[in-house]
Amino acid sequence: MLLNFVIIPVTKMCEDSAYDLQEKLHSVIKKNVCVKIDEEYESSINKRINDWEDNDYDIITIGPSYIENSQITYRSNEKDSKPESMLVDDFIELINAFEDDTLSDSSGKEEEDDWCIIM
């Protein structure tokens, strides 16, 4: 199962942090994860979120609180999901626990084709 995430920096000032977070997620999450970064700053944050929700992506928004204390806001693509603020390390633990449950039958061998990096 492929997990699709998009990181939405609230402002252009947070874009470098978004790329740092993308790299961190790829280095610690085992496999089957696609992480994109939204750089459409001309649109409102609500429109950007809605566009990605329509495409069934889990959404990570980052702003100054990420830069200050590694806090993100995460919203699952499941119906009626509410945004939840959490530390990035807690998010990684959550995703790795999900992976352990859903991917337990995989060999654990990581292949380059399992990654989706779009910039």
Question: Where residue 68 sits, what CATH number does that domain have?
Answer: 3.40.50.800
* Residue 45 located in a structural domain: yes
Has residue 112 been placed in a domain? no
Residue 33 contacts residue 3 (beta carbons within 8 Å) = yes
The confidence score (pLDDT) of residue 94 equals: 87
Supply the pLDDT for residue 99: 57
113 lies in some domain:
no
Q: What is the pTM of this model?
A: 0.81
Q: How far apart are the first and last CA of the chain?
A: 22
- Residue 67's alpha-carbon distances to 11, 16, 18, 87, in angstroms, are 12, 10, 10, 11
In a domain, residue 57? The reply is: yes
Task: Classify residue 20: in a domain, yes or no.
Answer: yes
- The reported pLDDT for the residue numbered 110 is 43
Domain assignment of residue 111, yes or no: no
Domain that holds residue 11: 3-103
- Residue 83's alpha-carbon distances to 40, 61, 111, in angstroms, are 20, 10, 32
Residue 115 placed within a domain? no
pLDDT in tens, the chain (119 residues): 678 999 999 999 999 999 999 999 988 887 678 999 999 999 999 999 999 999 999 999 999 999 999 999 999 988 888 999 999 999 999 888 875 555 454 444 444 444 454 44
Kindly state whether residue 37 falls inside one of the protein's structural domains.
yes
Q: What Rg do the C-alpha atoms of the chain give, in angstroms?
A: 14
Q: How many domains is the chain built from?
A: 1
Overall residue count recorded for the chain in this entry: 119
